[in-house]
Amino acid sequence: YEHVVPRKKDNRPQLNEDELLMTTVYWRHSNQKYSDFRRATTTLKNHQGQDIDLGLVEFYFLNEEHPVSPHKHKCTGKPFNPTSTSTKQTIKEAVKGKQGPSTIFSDIVNGVGGSLNCESVSDIPRNIDQVKQARAKLNFKPKHAEFVSLLDLAQSSIYIRNLQWTPVPRVVFSYDEVLEEIVNNCCKVNSSCVLSIDTTYGIGNKFVTTTTYPHAMLIDCVTGKHANLPGPAMFHVSEKKEDFVYFGQTLVQQNESIENVRFIGSDRSSALKGFMQPLKGAVLVPCTKHVKDNIERQFKTLGVNEKDKKSILFDIFGNTTLSRKGLIDSESVDDFDAKLEVLSTKWVRLDKGVDFLNYFQVNISDDMKVGMLPSVRREIGLNDNFFYSNAEECSHFKYKCKIREHKALTATGYGRNVNVSWLEAINVYKSMVDQVRENIRLAVLGIGPYSFAPEAQHLVVTQKEWSKLSPEDRRKHYAKIHFLEEM
């Protein structure tokens, strides 16, 4: 026998074991032009609601029969065969793994029996692009979702500073203890340590501007020199001067003594100089390599020949191998101006020499007089050697290595991908800083990449003595490290 049950599932009575539920669904063509073309699908379920492998599909016209074109894709406007729900679900799960799109496509095709044994063509993905699109959807995260995640982190963490999302997204990472170390090493009246700042690229669609500072009481066991430690960092999407002013202001807001930084090492970009605006009279110490690179780019722009290039570079930077000093080795600003006047008469006689002299006087000479002469180099402990931002470059390299390591463990697919989210970029940098902080603590036991300078050897504890200390006593001992000052 048969009887009609309510349309809503909640209103249907429980079926007996010998009863089946037959459901018919009526469809019409999505194109209004073929609205009289209909389809009816009939399926069966047992009393437990499980599908029975039996069904009926009926096509019919309300009026006379006529040709009907296949359904067209909404984007391409071309007819296509829809992919079965089960295959789309298989693709969705497969793209979460490490296999590439072509491998996933091939595995799914083989899994349904290939074109020879498949039950339906709809069980086969349309093409490899369908797999790629599924992975792209998996990796896509709306901007508002990123901001919500970052806002949650800012509210629950003390190291996220001054989060801004408008007019442009930017945020600063810093620890209070790191800021205090920068004050102790770079902000005292007699401080000789340089706070270096530089921007790294290729971290997805954002920039990361990091800082490094040498710790006068810590020695790098590999180089035998003061250990250079990672400092605060800014994560941002533009490189305007106001972004770097914001960075400097944020650090000063967290610790007012930061405004007394004596020396800033950077690449001389006008935007990056904005970082110095909130500081009180910090001296810009340009990286010698960056200055040389700027000059050589200008050579290329002007079309200066190789012979004149070598001659001008020799005049400016001298030659340490030949013990010949250059303009950069002038003992005073007056000495610099006098030597430049002599060199000017030489350079103007060179092909393109007048143009280069004008460029040098406008773009290079002032920065060189302020932050690159021997008087400054000696004050920051370099004697007569040049300043290079190697510490920043090394820090960037380590950071990008950690980004790749993170993506290798968490990302889908097999290709190289450093397109990290804001949260990932910050957390990876935090993990790098945390590792350095732990290495500093290990120096107490004489373990790890750092050791204490002779003036701080009183902090070293034997492993036997350390094992006798309570966790509270150990924390008190660690606290002494953060207040080390250059003596």
Could you say which of 3.90.930, 3.30.750, 1.10.3470, 3.30.420 is the CATH number of the domain covering 145-287+388-395? 3.30.420
CA geometry: angle at 131 spanning 125 and 132, to 5°?
A: 150
CA pair distance 181, 481, nearest whole angstrom: 9
- Per-residue confidence (pLDDT) for residue 244, from 0 to 100: 95
- Per-residue confidence (pLDDT) for residue 314, from 0 to 100: 96
Beta strands in 81-151, from DSSP E residues, in sequence order: none
The residue extents of the domains of the chain are: 1-80, 85-139, 145-287+388-395
**Other residues' Cβ atoms within 10 Å of the Cβ of residue 125:** 23
> Does the pTM exceed 0.85?
no
370 alpha-carbon distance from chain centroid: 33
- Per-residue confidence (pLDDT) for residue 66, from 0 to 100: 86
- Per-residue confidence (pLDDT) for residue 140, from 0 to 100: 54
Could you report the average pLDDT of every consecutive run of 10 residues in the chain (487 residues)? Answer: 77 85 85 84 88 89 84 68 85 80 84 80 83 72 70 88 89 94 93 93 87 94 94 94 95 96 91 91 94 95 94 93 91 96 94 94 94 94 90 90 83 62 91 93 91 92 90 88 55
| Continuous segment of H or E residues that includes residue 114 | helix 114-117
- Per-residue confidence (pLDDT) for residue 307, from 0 to 100: 94
- Per-residue confidence (pLDDT) for residue 431, from 0 to 100: 93
CA pair distance 387, 289, nearest whole angstrom: 9
| 376 close to 394: Cβ distance less than 8 angstroms | no
